[in-house]
Amino acid sequence: MSSSALAYVRRLPFIPVVLILALIALFSWQLPQQGGSGVLWQGLIAPGIDQPQQLLAHYVWWPRLAMALLAGAGLGIAGVLMQQLLRNPLASPTTLGVSTGANLALTMATLWAPGLLSLGREWVALVGGGLAVAIVMALSWRRSLAPIVVVLAGLVVNLYLGALSTALLLFNQDAMSGLLVWAAGSLAQNGWADTVSVSWRLALGVLAALLLLRPLRLLELDDASARSLGISVRTLRLGGLAIAVWITATLVSFVGIIGFIGLAAPNIVRLAGIRSLSSRLIGSALLGGGLLVATDWFVQSLTGLLPVIIPTGAVAGALGAPLLLWLIPKLSLTDSPPQHHLSPTTYRHPAPQRLVLVMAGSLLGLILLALFCGQDIEGWYWLKELSLLEWRWPRVIAAAASGLMLALAGTLLQRLSGNPMASPEVLGISSGCAIALLLSLFVLPSEHSLGRIAIGAGGGLLTLGLILALTRRHQFAPERMLLAGVAMGAVMDALVRMILASGDPRAQEALAWMTGSTYYVTASMALGAAGLALVMVAIVWPLQRWLDLLPLGSASSRALGVPLNQARLLLLLVVAVLTAGATLIVGPLSFVGLLAPHLARLMGLVRARWQLLGAGLLGTLLMVLADALGRQLLFPHDLPAGLVAALIGGAYFIWGLRRM
C-alpha cells in the first residue's frame, strides 16, 4: 500500500501543485482589485444597485469565474471522452478540428444567414464541429483510426478550415470586428444568462456521458474483445463523439475557441497515474477548470496594461503548446511500424521523361497565360499592354519559386519520414516562420525585407531545432515530429487570433502576409527567391541516392551505406531554408508542400529523381495558377496566392486522402 502510494506520488507531476499555488497567488492579486472579500461576497448574494463594485462582482467577476470553470471542465471532459473513444492520447476538441469547424460555421452563419443564429448559436456550432470531426474520421477510417493518422487528418482539416475563415475575413473585415473578439476566446462576461445556458447544456452532455460510462470502460480493450462482450464499437464511438462534439460546440458558441485545455488536462491526469475512466473524467474536469481559471486570472491581471482585449482562449492555446512539447517525450505512443508507402509495388509511370516534359510544357503555357492574360474593368483580355508585364513578372516568378521550394521541401520530408502526409506545413516549420514574422511585425518599428527573411528563417530553424531536440530520443520518429507541428500550429493560430481581435489596423498587414499574397513582392525579392530556389535545387539534386534509400527504413538505409544521422540533419537543414524562403512569400497556409510530392507519386513518379522533378514542376504549376487566379478572378480585388493554393490544394488533398 505504502509503496504504491509512493509510486503514485513519484509519478504525480508537479503541475497540480504548481496550479494550486498559482491560483492562490492570482486570487490574492484579484481580491484587492475587486474591492476585497466583502464586496465579492455581497456582490454574489445581493448586490446593491448603487454599489458599482458589488454590481461588477455580481455581473462580471463571478460569472466570468463560473464560465472559466465550466469551459475548462467541459473541455477536460470532452478531451477524456475523445481520447477514450479513439484510444488516442492526442485526440481533443482542438486537434480533431471541432473548435475550428464550429467557429467557421458560426462565421458563415453570421455573414450569410444571421437568421440561423437566432435558432441557437450552439446548433450552428454543432453542425460545423460535427462536420469537421466527420471529415477527420472519414480521412483516417481506412487506417483504422490510428492515433497519428487521426491527429494528422485533424491538423490538415484545421489548417483548411482556418484558411476558409481567413478568406471570409479578408473581404468582410469591417463587418466582422465583433466576431473576431468572440472567436479569439474571450471569457469576459456580462450577467449570468450565458453561464446558465452553458451549465444546463453541459449537464446534459455529462449526463449522457455517464450513461455511456460502462461500455466506454470496455473500450480500453481492443475492438475485437469489446465486440465479443456485446458492444457495437461503431455505435459507441459515434454516440460518444456526438456527446464530446456537443460539449465543445456549446462552449465554442458561447466563448469562442479555447486552445489546448481539452488536450492538456486529460493527459496530465493520465500521467499522474490516474487510471479508471470515472476518476479521469473527474480529474480532468477539475484540472481543466483550474487551468482555465488560472489562465483567465493571469489574463485579467494584464488587462488595463494594454489597450486591447486579451482573449483567454488564445492565451491558453499559446501557453498550452509548450506543455504539449513538454509532454511529447513522456507520451507512451506506440510508434507504429514504418509505413512503406513508397514501396516498389506502387504504380510506376512507364515513361517518366515524357510525363515530366508534358508538365514542363504546361507550366510554360501557364506562365505565358499568367503574364499576358487578364481582366480589367472592361472584361477579359489577352495581350493588352506590355507595360503590364512590369507588374506581373515579379509576382509570377516569386509564386513559381515558392511553389518549387515548398514542393522540394515536401518531397524531402516525405522521403525522409516515409510518411506521405509529412510536409513543411504539417511539421510546423511554416508556422515557426510565421510566428517569428508576426512578432517582428509588431515588435520591430519598421521592417526591411532582408531583415524579415532573416527573422523568418530564424523562426523556421528554431522550430526545426526544437523538433529535432524533442524527438532525438526517439530517433526523430516522424510521429513525434508531427506532434511538434501540431503545437507550433496552435501557437501560430493563437497569435493570429490575438492580433486580429486587437482591432489594430496593422492586423491587416499581418493578415495579408499570413494568407500568402505575392502583392508586396518587388523585382529584387522575386529574383532573390528564384536564385534561392535554384541554389537549393543544385544542393538537393546530388542527394538522390539518399532519397531513394531513406524511405526503405532506417535499418535498410544504414545497411546500404547511408550515413543516417548526417543525412537526416543535412536534409532537414535544407528543408528549413526552403520553407523559410517560401513562407516569406506565400505564407504558412498553402498546401503545396504536402500536395505536390503526393501528386507526383500518384502519377507514378516514384524514383527520387523523377519525384523531385515532377513535384517541383507541379508545385510551381499550382502556385503560378493560384497566383494568376488570385490576381484576376475578383479584379480589382486581390486574392492571396497562398490562400487560393490552400483552397484548391487542400480540397484535393482531403478528397484524395480517403484512398490512403
Interaction residues for another protein, span 378-407 (CB under 8 A): 385, 387-388, 390-392
What is the rounded distance in angstroms from the CA atom of residue 246 to the CA atom of residue 126? 6
Nearer to another protein, 61 or 653 (CB): 61
Examine residue 49 and tell whether it contacts another protein (CB under 8 A).
yes
Closer Cβ to another protein, 502 or 579, answer by number = 502
Residues in 596-655 at the binding interface with another protein, rule: CB under 8 A: 635-638
Q: How far is the CB of 636 from another protein (least distance, A)?
A: 3
Residue 295 contacts another protein per CB under 8 A? no
Quick one: 389 or 469, whose CB is closer to another protein?
389
* 84 counts as binding another protein under rule CB under 8 A: no
Name the residue among 423, 427, 142, 99 with its Cα closest to residue 252: 99
CB 641 within 8 A of CB 623: yes
Q: With contact defined as beta carbons under 8 Å apart, do 614 and 355 qualify? A: yes
The interface region with another protein, picked from 52-60, 239-247, 405-413, 549-557 by CB under 8 A, is 52-60
Phi, psi (rounded to 5 degrees) for 201:
-65, -40
Count, in order, helices (H) and strands (E) of the chain. Answer: 31, 2
Q: Which of 62, 182, 246, 610 binds another protein (CB under 8 A)?
A: 182
- Smallest gap from residue 53 Cβ to another protein (A): 8
Using the minimum distance from each CB to another protein, give the nearer residue, 344 or 378.
378
* Dist. CA 483–CA 467, nearest whole Å: 9
Q: How does strand 379-382 pair with strand 373-376?
A: antiparallel
CB of 325 within 8 A of CB of 466? yes
Least Cβ distance, residue 461 to another protein (angstroms):
25
CA proximity to 319, closest of 125, 459, 498, 156: 498
Stretch in the footprint of another protein (CB under 8 A) among 276-284, 430-438, 509-517, 605-613: 509-517
Does 519 participate in binding another protein (rule CB under 8 A)? Answer: yes
44 binds another protein (CB under 8 A): no
From 182-190, 356-364, 401-409, 489-497, give the range in contact with another protein by CB under 8 A: 182-190
Q: Which stretch binds another protein (CB under 8 A): 431-439, 455-463, 506-514, 618-626?
A: 506-514
Q: Is 59 or 652 the residue whose CB approaches another protein more closely? A: 59
The reply to whether omega before 588 is within 30° of 0 (cis) is no
Question: How many chain residues are in contact with another protein, going by CB under 8 A?
Answer: 53
Beta bridge partners of residue 381, listed in sequence order? 374
Taking the least distance from each CB to another protein, the nearer of 542 and 636 is: 636
Find how far residue 196's CA is from the centre of its chain.
Answer: 31
d(CA 471, CA 575): 17
How near is the Cβ of 259 to another protein at its closest, in Å? 19
Near another protein in 115-154, by CB under 8 A: none
- Cβ contact 287:76 at 8 Å: yes
Q: CB nearer to another protein: give 92 or 515.
A: 515
Classify residue 387 by its DSSP letter: G
Residue with cell string 483504422: 144
| Radius of gyration of the chain, Cα coordinates, nearest whole angstrom | 26
* Binder among 23, 60, 439, 454 for another protein (CB under 8 A): 60
Near another protein by CB under 8 A: residue from 177, 276, 278, 279:
177
Q: Which amino acid type is present at position 641?
A: A
> Helix, strand or coil for residue 379?
strand
Name which of residues 412 to 451 contact another protein (CB under 8 A). Answer: 447
- Of 164, 181, 199, 187, whose CA–CA distance to 258 is shortest? 187
| The only residue of 36, 38, 191, 329 in contact with another protein, by rule CB under 8 A | 191
**CB burial readout 157-196, b (16+ within 10 A) else e:** bbbbbbbbbbbbbbeeeeebeebbbbbbbbbbbeeeebbe
Q: Nearest distance from residue 277's CB to another protein, in Å? A: 36
To which H or E segment does residue 373 belong?
strand 373-376
Q: How far from the centroid of its chain's Cα atoms is residue 9's Cα?
A: 34
CB of 404 to another protein, least distance (A): 24
DSSP 306: B
586's grid cell: 506565400
**Cα angle 436-409-419, degrees, rounded to a multiple of 5:** 110
Q: Which is nearer to another protein, 21 or 175 (CB)?
A: 175
Binding test (CB under 8 A) with another protein, winner from 58, 121, 415, 601: 58
Q: Which of 32, 115, 230, 304 binds another protein (CB under 8 A)?
A: 304
- Determine which residue in the list 18, 376, 381, 472 makes contact with another protein, applying CB under 8 A: 376
Closer CB to another protein, 9 or 175, in the complex: 175
Choose between 389 and 560: whose C-beta lies nearer to another protein.
Answer: 389
CB of 26 to another protein, least distance (A): 16
H-helix or E-strand spanning residue 9? helix 2-11
The binding site for another protein (CB under 8 A) comprises: 49, 52-53, 55-56, 58-61, 170, 174-175, 177-178, 181-182, 186, 188-191, 193, 303-304, 307-309, 374, 376-377, 385, 387-388, 390-392, 447, 501-505, 508-509, 512, 517, 519-520, 522, 635-638
